[in-house]
Amino acid sequence: MQPIQRVAVVGAGNMGSGIAQKSAQEEFDVQMVDREAQWVERGQSIITNFLSEAVERRIFSPQQVEDIQGRITGVIGVEETAADTDLVIEAVFEDFDVKTAVFSTLDEVCGPNTILASNTSSLSVNALAEATGRPDRFVGLHFFYHPAKNRLVEVIPAQSSSQETIDKVVQYCKMLGKVVIVCADRPGFVVNRFFVPWLNEACLLLEEGAASAAQIDAIARKAFRIGLGPFGLMNLTGPPIALHSTDYLAEQLNTPRYTGAQNLRDLIEANAHWDVSGDDDYSEAQYTAVSERLLGVVFGVAAQIVDEDICSMEDVDRGAKVGLRWARGPFELMNKIGVAEAHRMAVKYADVAGEGWSVPAFFTQQGGNDWDFSYVDSNVSDGVATITINRPEAMNALNVTVVEQLTTAVSAANSDDSVHTIVLDGAGKAFVAGADVKFFVDKIRADAIPEIYDFTADGHTLLDMLETSSKTTVALTTGLALGGGLELALACDYRIGTRRTQFRFPETSIGIYPGLGGSQRPARICGIPAARWAVLAGNFMNAQTAKDLGLITHLVDVASVDSCVVTIASEGKPANKYPGQPSNPDSKVAQFASSFYSDANMASLMNGTCPEGFEAEDKTVLRQIKSLSFTAPIGLKMASDLINATASTTLSDGLKMELDGLDTIFSTKDALEGLSALIENRRATYNNE
């Protein structure tokens, strides 16, 4: 499948310019199209201002900004869109006739292979598809504001969309680093289906006098653990958008309850915003009345979404957490307060909502049992079992549930005679960004360190299943792989990386040592000095550095990942998984690690001094000394001892040593300090105790 590379965005407003900017940031060739030069110039100005701010915040360098802007070409007139464009995303006003007029022109000027997409938050994708001349090469997209920042995108295939079209667009969205929800074409799709009624219900509560706008916002912030309440959010995004969306849902779903509240209409008529400046203290009775109404509508609609096969409950929660930045999704909230209690709230809301609104039977049948979530997806095709960790809202962090589900999936693949290759992948922009640090902190504070041991031992079991598998095992480390995620990848036979790959072992800087093989496998792959450079100092590794050290076995273009998997599968398992030296010993990093982290220098480095023969003022040397000074002394020594042990132990013995030291390291005050500091986003202070 030839991937998308040339993208056009029609409409240079806030959404269109944001989509164009994000596409250019990810190295797509972009045309930003609008009717008149002034609108194209305005879009370019929006991008320039956004990127200038990014330079000030040191997100991008001036050269990177120049490169991004250089990939964006302004185009005046839809009819001037290049014929060889791979994907055109229409991002004009949310009006069916306006959009179909744009598509009519695009169908005439674009080549036969061009895919057309509509960025829409409400309109029927099936109807739009039929209005184009290429319904098989059409999908709906719902980017969330701001497209360059918000990681969620809903992909809505039309009934006529070909599978190749869907696959290409999903791949494009993933290459943007987006969390992708593929959903059915129903009004509101996923997030707006529950979010918009939530906004309108807040307006109705205000009309009823249940509480003031400030009080309702405060109650919503507490009940949903969010930063802005419904009125604050409407002020930010614009009340007219809320009214348009809720009236649309009321009409399309034949649900009178969703008709926009009169106070919302009056507010828009007055060209005003909600007044949320008043006293936000509330009574217990007010909290109960408001929170139960807002929770009830969300719980009921979330169940309706799943009941109508729009998407899974996991994707509903994903949409809330990634797209709206809620701390928990609707189904997770139900589990927290109790599913039976959540059902009571939904039924109570149904009585209020009246005609056109009901609680799905499967919700009622759930009783008091918690919802079970799946964070691991498995698919077998042509002998390749692809196992995807699908927890992008948490950067695919490993927790007890994920490890259990991964173990089940790997075991099933190992037992499947039709499978010859196992591929591990991570949804979103990360492969796996480590283990769930909060789990460690909670267990230390609860004096339950044996549970940390059990969790880590289960992780070792999982990694051993990969290590000893008769299948060829591949990790798609095409994004971020940190700590436990990198350790998971290193248990596989091969690691495929792209320019987006980033590796790091952060453990010594957060008070512990790598406990899932991170003290053992790197040294056996790239040698002890290089392992010290990577593990002890916690150096960030870009794709080329990881390839030079051998931690990445295959470095390819993003578009070549699938073909690389096919090649690896045909070649089978490696002849020597653990060569014990960098794959490119002549690289600068490998040479520096070999000399600086030699056995002779380790006493000096562990004491925080510069080894003889090196200049302390040298930037590279200074960076290493500084990195080591930020580590926890006990964790650093234990990690160093474990790396040294690789010279005289088998892998299995070394891994046992890792496990045996867990009680010691997690019992230190420095471990609690380092892990807590990470959660609290502050620098740790270590006392060597």
| Residue range 315-373, pLDDT digits in tens | 999 999 999 999 999 999 999 999 999 999 999 999 999 988 999 999 999 999 999 99
Q: What is the mean pLDDT of residues 605-610?
A: 94
3.30.230.10, 1.10.1040.50, 3.40.50.720, 2.60.120.380: CATH of 191-365: 1.10.1040.50
pLDDT at 615: 92
pLDDT at 558: 82
Homologous superfamily of 6-182:
NAD(P)-binding Rossmann-like Domain (3.40.50.720)
Confidence band for 511, pLDDT divided at 50, 70 and 90 = very high
Strands 480-482 and 502-504: parallel
pLDDT at 356: 87
At 73-94, the pLDDT tens digits run 999 999 999 999 999 999 998 8
H helix runs in 71-177, sequence order: 96-109, 125-131, 163-175
Query: In whole numbers, what is the pLDDT of the chain averaged over residues?
Result: 96
Q: What is the mean pLDDT of residues 605-629?
A: 94
Residues forming CATH 3.90.226.10 domain(s) in the chain: 376-679
At 654-682, the pLDDT tens digits run 999 999 999 999 999 999 999 999 999 99
Strands 554-555 and 138-143: unpaired
Residues forming CATH 3.40.50.720 domain(s) in the chain: 6-182
CA distance 222 to 213: 14
Q: Which of 116-125, 260-269, 332-341 has the lowest mean pLDDT?
A: 116-125
Contact 23, 177 (CB under 8 A): no
Residue that is written with structure tokens 């690691």 in the block: 495
Q: Domain 376-679 class?
A: alpha beta
SS3 call for 589: helix
The DSSP letter of residue 13 is S
CA distance 192 to 185: 13
CA distance 294 to 223: 9
Burial zone of 83 (CB within 10 Å; 0-12 exposed, 13-18 middle, 19+ buried): exposed
pLDDT of 1 higher than 80: no
At 373-425, the pLDDT tens digits run 999 999 999 999 999 999 988 899 999 999 999 999 999 999 999 999 999 99
CA distance 443 to 663: 12
pLDDT of 135 higher than 80: yes
Residues forming CATH 1.10.1040.50 domain(s) in the chain: 191-365
Pair of tokens at residue 192 = 């707006």
Confidence band for 224, pLDDT divided at 50, 70 and 90 = very high
Q: What is the mean pLDDT of residues 258-284?
A: 96
